[in-house]
Structure 1
Amino acid sequence: MTTSHRPETGTEPSTEPDPAAPVVTEEVHERLWAALRDGDEYTASGVVMDAVEAGASVEEVLLDLIAPVQARIGAEWAANRITVAQEHSATAVNERVMAALAHHPGHRPPPPRLGRITVACVDGEWHALPARLVSEVLRRRGWEVGFLGAHVPTPHLVAELHATAPRAVALSCSMPRHLPVAHRVIAACQAAGFPVLAGGRAFGPDGRHARALGADGWAPNARGAAEVLASGLAGSLPRPAHLPVEDLPHLADHEYTAVTRARQRLVREVLAGLEERFPPMRSYTDEQRDRTAEDVAHVVDHLVAALYVDDDALFTGFITWTAEVLTARGVPAASLDPTLGLLTAGLPAAAPRARRVLAAGRAELAAAG
């Protein structure tokens, strides 16, 4: 707990918190991070409850403490300073701490007065904590929230919308490779008569992919989502049913479809070719080969997503991030350039956009050294 004191009379310290002093300080961040890293649920909960008791609002604790520490969990994993097991444990503890805060008798949200919002992750998206944060903030702002969690199959989402008739759908997508699915979900919700607010890292830092995919609104974070919904998105008329090519005319070149259909072949051919172009792979264990196959599949999936939205930066950002992750784990990032070269060689004959995207990826790797 961090409470600042100041003199009231010049001789005696006040026991009242200073409203100008921040409660969610760097020290509080470090205490929560240490508890999450150690998997200590009780200490983590204590840090969060102490912050509220010291004067922070529940929304501040959610968005200025829990959310940035959760982002740190991902950054620490990427830098190879914590294991996958520790990352999963820390995230699970963070989720339970959020639940404890939400259900604490003294910190429950007000009764809903603004109508119902459905919050869900797109089909295949397992990163549910950002959507959970949005749900809790909306509840604090007076909405009734139906939080459906991670990986919601589209037919079940639409059925839920018909059953509960929310004023809008807040759709979360963190991984760019899920953007083609997100487009189908947005269109399905709109066809059912419900406007869609898109959010999550996959939609781009400026929401450009949300706009490209025809979402009725976009927000960069939970506070932004609450503001957009309060401004009138909820209850607005969604777009009528339409085909994906109406949003993304470049899909008419069929490159996305051709590369998607070639996915398994491309992964096989790259793995086979790496034996020759990246000699260290010849001594890989079976487990290392399995991890390499997963990495190559992710590269192809992000290529496909970049083709879908016609955005080279989606792919180049993933490639540079992957290089950093591999380097942190002592794996030569030099394997990425031959991977992209082999993918280029294996592309369908008419795939100029895919070749452009892969060339941009190779240029980014070269520039990064």
Structure 2
Amino acid sequence: MSTAGLVTTDLRAAGEHYLEHIGQADEFGAVDLVLDLLQQGVGAESLLLDLIAPAQRRIGELWAANQWSVAREHGATAVSERAVAAIVARVRPAPVLGRITVACADGEYHALPTRLLAEVLRLRGWRVDFLGANVPGPHLITHLHQTGPDAVALGCALAIRLPRAHATITACQAVGVPVLAGGSGFGADGRLARLLGADAWAPTADAAADHLSSGALPAFPAAPHGPAHLSDEEYTHLTRRRGELLTGAMAALTAAWPPMAAYTAHQLDSTAEDLGHILDFLTAAVYVDDAQVFTDFITWTAGVLRARGVPAGAVKVGLRVFYDELRDFPRARHLLAQGIEAAHDADLEI
């Protein structure tokens, strides 16, 4: 067996122990584990991408399956952030390459994946300005003027942040700074990064570092068309009328779904929140004219609600309520019809 195989096996075993530590919010245990592995010769980049990153994905799966609470998930993520800090405090290569600004899109609060990219770039020899979560576009542009980086690496985990990410991409390029996009919000294949005009896209932190280290960013071919919101006003109206639409949807859902009559205040709040997420993903899908943005979310939502004891049929009822409410929105209704079909397919998987 090769040394690489041994390291992989060790990291898989260590990953189980690491997940136990972070699941118990055991900061000292998690930090000791990663520092011990570092001392044993496991590379810092491997610890970030082959130990911590998979653990974070597993956290998301456990939360979606209703095996971990939001509080436990948040605690585990906080511990992982401390583990990352402990690793990079021990390994400090001198910056010998250029300067990269790394930031999350405006409104994007899932900062750890973007932080992992920032640290991988530092390990590869870049000077990195990591700006963290939820970076407003105008403030990012001010930073670019002040620092003059070679590129911006922009993270977006949720598709509902794409309109703001688009504005940020355009603004960065207007001041002469290319943008490397990353994160699941841009699509698993990067198609939405291309649509929104990013200079390049990378599926993983190491792939992004490879792109940047190779010199000029490998440019996308021109997108065949721009974002769909430019062709009509559906996106604008959905955004402006969000509150009104949600109020109407809650009233209609109460009439269409009899079990809601017995809901507690907490259940009603959760239902309103779920409807808000549905409307936000619908709005994002209208912006980019991409049905998969919406149908993937509906399939995921059906699974999450099912794990929490909510009948799968409730998702379809909610979608039909929006379908009836949005009579003057043909593109949104077309997407809702596909969402209803996706919810139906999710029902059949039970």
Same fold per superposition (TM over 0.5): yes
Q: Is 1:281–2:260 an aligned residue pair?
A: yes
1:65-104 correspondence to structure 2 within 5 Å = 65-104=51-90
Query: How far did residue 342 of structure 1 move?
Result: 1.0
Deviation above 4 Å: which 4+ runs of structure 1?
17-20
* Cα distance in 1 between the residues matched to 2:279 and 2:66: 24
Aligned-partner residue type, residue 180 of structure 2? L
Q: Is 1:164–2:143 an aligned residue pair?
A: no
Q: Is 1:21–2:6 an aligned residue pair?
A: yes
Q: Is 1:54–2:40 an aligned residue pair?
A: yes
Please give the secondary structure, in 1, of the residue aligned with 2:215.
Answer: helix
Match of 1:33 among 13, 16, 19: 19
Query: How far did residue 334 of structure 1 move?
Result: 1.5
Aligned-partner residue type, residue 41 of structure 1? E
1:248-263 correspondence to structure 2 within 5 Å = 248=227, 251-263=230-242
Match of 1:355 among 315, 318, 333: 333
1:151-204 superposed Cα distances (whole Å, 9 cap, x missing partner)? 111111100010000000000010110111110010111112110000011000
**Contiguous gaps of at least 5 residues in structure 1:** 5-16, 239-244
Please give the secondary structure, in 2, of the residue aligned with 1:169.
Answer: strand
Residue 224 of structure 1 is matched in structure 2 by: 207
| TM norm structure 2 | 0.94
Higher mean C-alpha displacement, 302-311 vs 286-295: 286-295
Residue 174 of structure 1 is matched in structure 2 by: 157
The number of aligned residues is 345
Residue 120 of structure 1 is matched in structure 2 by: 103
* Cα distance in 2 between the residues matched to 1:89 and 1:98: 14
* Cα distance in 1 between the residues matched to 2:295 and 2:34: 38
Higher mean C-alpha displacement, 261-270 vs 157-166: 261-270
1:199-228 superposed Cα distances (whole Å, 9 cap, x missing partner)? 011000000000000000100010011011
Residue 335 of structure 1 is matched in structure 2 by: 314
Residue 122 of structure 2 is matched in structure 1 by: 139
Please give the secondary structure, in 2, of the residue aligned with 1:149.
Answer: coil
* Cα distance in 1 between the residues matched to 2:318 and 2:228: 29
* Cα distance in 2 between the residues matched to 1:305 and 1:18: 46
Aligned-partner residue type, residue 21 of structure 1? L
- Do the aligned residues in 2 keep the contact of 1:195 with 1:237 (CA within 8 Å)? no
| TM norm structure 1 | 0.89
Higher mean C-alpha displacement, 277-286 vs 31-40: 277-286
Residue 364 of structure 1 is matched in structure 2 by: 342
**Contiguous gaps of at least 5 residues in structure 2:** none
Higher mean C-alpha displacement, 327-336 vs 110-119: 327-336
Q: Is 1:209–2:195 an aligned residue pair?
A: no
Q: 1:41 to 1:254 in 2, by over 3 A?
A: same
Aligned-partner residue type, residue 70 of structure 1? Q
Q: 1:250 to 1:92 in 2, by over 3 A?
A: closer
Q: Is 1:317–2:302 an aligned residue pair?
A: no
Please give the secondary structure, in 1, of the residue aligned with 2:6.
Answer: coil
1:227-306 correspondence to structure 2 within 5 Å = 227-233=210-216, 247-248=226-227, 251-306=230-285
Please give the secondary structure, in 1, of the residue aligned with 2:53.
Answer: helix
State the identity as a percent: 51
Higher mean C-alpha displacement, 223-232 vs 135-144: 223-232
Query: How far did residue 137 of structure 1 move?
Result: 0.3
- Do the aligned residues in 1 keep the contact of 2:108 with 2:158 (CA within 8 Å)? yes
User: Which structure has the larger Rg?
Assistant: 1
- Do the aligned residues in 2 keep the contact of 1:255 with 1:307 (CA within 8 Å)? yes
Query: How far did residue 231 of structure 1 move?
Result: 2.2
* Cα distance in 1 between the residues matched to 2:59 and 2:5: 29
- Do the aligned residues in 1 keep the contact of 2:179 with 2:199 (CA within 8 Å)? yes
- Do the aligned residues in 1 keep the contact of 2:229 with 2:235 (CA within 8 Å)? no
Please give the secondary structure, in 1, of the residue aligned with 2:138.
Answer: helix
- Do the aligned residues in 2 keep the contact of 1:193 with 1:237 (CA within 8 Å)? no
Aligned-partner residue type, residue 217 of structure 1? A
Match of 2:166 among 183, 201, 205: 183
Please give the secondary structure, in 2, of the residue aligned with 1:124.
Answer: coil
Query: How far did residue 39 of structure 1 move?
Result: 0.5
Please give the secondary structure, in 1, of the residue aligned with 2:131.
Answer: strand
